[in-house]
Amino acid sequence: MSTIIKHPVNAAEFIEDLERTHWHDDSLWFVRSKRDKATSAVPEWEKLRQMGSDIKDHMLSRIDHYLEEFEANCQKNGIQVHFAHTAEDHNRIVHGILERNGVKRIVKSKSMLTEECHLNPYLEERGVDVIDTDLGERIVQLRDERPSHIVLPAIHIKKSEVSELFHDKLGTEKGNEDPKYLAESARGHLREKFLDAEAGITGVNFAIAETGGVVICTNEGNADLGIALPPIHIACMGMEKLIPKIDHLGVFLRLLARSATGQPITAYSSHFHGPRPGGEMHVVIVNNGRSEILGQDDFRNALKCIRCGACMNTCPIYRRSGGHSYGATVPGPIGSILSPTIDKKKYSTLPFASTLCGSCTDVCPVKINLHEQLLLWRKHIVKAGHLPKTKRFAMRVMGKLLASPTLFKMGGVGLRMSRFMPRFMIYHRLNAWGRHREMPEIPKSSFRKQLAERNKNNSTSNSPKGGDA
């Protein structure tokens, strides 16, 4: 039986460290601001967004055709293609490839798909040494943590903590927090792992059906190095990573980096169309619940996601509660849509971790209607009976109140009278809202009264004057 992820409880633990909370919030808003500057410099930005959305719509509507085309072209290129229905199938396929080749040491670039399938612990339990080579991923791996962000996996960690970690694990100078020194130390440490690796595992940003090739985007070049040295390359991808044609790639490369980090393009956008001479290349295509999402009209748009992280960088809830509070591989708004599809009960609190402000939808490079889907998920969760009893009771009370004009008027009168109450009668342990913020200012008169007075004044000012024919 799966444990229910309680986002409010996890978020409260993160928020207890106010300094970290403010720093996390500011760091992500800085990235969001860079995104705004980068996109405003592209006059055709909205046209690109629409094109990206339309291409993904078309691909999803004919995904069976494009999967077959991609597989056939991969095989022409000498790439072996494997289909995995579940996460367990994916892990078994990857381990089988490594076992057949006697591989015990691998390097792995960033891949949210392998995080989703929990590949690392699966391989480690079977005697395979797995080294994450993205700097942020390596930091969280050394800390025995999950990434807290899909693009910035160590965004929740301060450089002082990285310094302590590297001193403990890599033998760096104690107390040296210079980012350049720490990055160079990690580079030297990872270089040994690259040279020693027997296979390289990567994710896939885009898989092109027309060519049978995959495109991997990094800013560190770690995927390229991890593939260039060992003889075996295993690329792991969700089936939604397909795009139909090579001509479509330019649209997504322009959208991805600007949305993710505010860059015109990632430093390395590498194409792979076959194994190195004498080597092997495998592509593992994973379903793991994606076909179920595809079959739901309300949520199939979520499969357009290109994993840029823009919705996380702008979300006021994510920025203030941290990625780990979601208890899911993909946190933030998009994760709060995808995760309940896997396990509705376990992730039942995530769609409520949103203000429904719509900022996530505004920044999504492929126009996913994120806030609308979050609202729809709330309805599904209530219908399934997964809403806590306290919330169900509160919603029933509010439903009665809002359905009755008389009760609504009485409630308004009661709230306006609270302006005269002593502060201790409002701010106490039963008022969770007031623990960390001031209550909104209550108006002196009701909206109905203000509207009636405005209509009366308008009527008086517009009445005909005497004396003119």
Read off the tokens for 8.
Answer: 């409010």
86-113 pLDDT, tens digit per residue, is 999 999 999 999 999 999 999 999 999 9
If you compute the radius of gyration of the chain from its CA atoms, what whole number of angstroms results? 26
Q: Are 147 and 331 in contact (CB under 8 A)?
A: no
Instruction: Write the burial class of residue 326 (CB in 10 Å: 0-12 exposed, 13-18 middle, 19+ buried).
Output: buried
Q: For residue 272, what is the enclosing H or E element?
A: strand 268-272
Q: Phi/psi of residue 317, each to 5°?
A: -75, -50
Q: Under CATH, what is the fold of the domain 42-288?
A: Rossmann fold (3.40.50)
What is the C-alpha separation between 220 and 269, in angstroms, rounded? Answer: 11
DSSP label at residue 353: S
Q: What pLDDT score was predicted for residue 465?
A: 59
Q: What pLDDT score was predicted for residue 463?
A: 65
Mean of pLDDT values over 268-283: 96
Confidence of residue 464 (pLDDT cuts 50, 70, 90): low
Strands 232-238 and 199-202: parallel
3-state SS string for the chain: CCCCCCHHHHHHHHHCCHHHHHHHHHHHHHHHHHHHHHHHCCCCHHHHHHHHHHHHHHHHHCHHHHHHHHHHHHHHCCCEEEEECCHHHHHHHHHHHHHHCCCCEEEECCCHHHHHHCHHHHHHCCCCEEEECCHHHHHHHHCCCCCCCCCCCCCCCCHHHHHHHHHHHHCCCCCCCCHHHHHHHHHHHHHHHHHHCCEEEECCCEEECCCCEEEEEECCCHHHHHHHCCCEEEEEEEHHHEECCHHHHHHHHHHHHHHHHCCCCCCEEEEECCCCCCCEEEEEEECCCHHHHHCCCCCHHHHHCCCCCHHHHHCHHHHHHCHHHHCCCCCHHHHHHHHHHHCCCCCCCHHHCCCCCCHHHHHCCCCCCHHHHHHHHHHHHHHCCCCCHHHHHHHHHHHHHHHCHHHHHHHHHHHHHHHHCCHHHCCCCCCCHHHCCCCCCCCCCCHHHHHHHHHHHHHHHCCCCCCCC
- Give Cβ neighbours of residue 164 (< 8 Å, ≥ 6 apart): none
Confidence of residue 469 (pLDDT cuts 50, 70, 90): very low
Percentage of the residues of the chain whose pLDDT score is greater than 90: 82
> What is the average pLDDT value for the chain, to the nearest integer?
94
DSSP label at residue 418: G
Q: What pLDDT score was predicted for residue 100?
A: 97
Read off the tokens for 75.
Answer: 């095989």
Task: Look at residue 279 and tell me whether its pLDDT is greater than 90.
Answer: yes
CB neighbours of residue 388 within 10 Å? 14
350-400 pLDDT, tens digit per residue, is 999 999 999 999 999 999 999 999 999 999 999 998 988 888 888 888 889
28-74 pLDDT, tens digit per residue, is 999 999 999 999 999 999 999 999 999 999 999 999 999 999 999 99
Task: Look at residue 467 and tell me whether its pLDDT is greater than 50.
Answer: no
Q: Are 315 and 336 in contact (CB under 8 A)?
A: no
pTM of the shown model: 0.89
What is the C-alpha separation between 467 and 87, in angstroms, rounded? Answer: 86
Confidence of residue 458 (pLDDT cuts 50, 70, 90): confident
Confidence of residue 126 (pLDDT cuts 50, 70, 90): very high
Q: What pLDDT score was predicted for residue 468?
A: 46
Read off the tokens for 207.
Answer: 């898989």
The domain locations on the chain are 42-288, 389-461
What is the C-alpha separation between 354 and 360, in angstroms, rounded? Answer: 10
Confidence of residue 442 (pLDDT cuts 50, 70, 90): confident
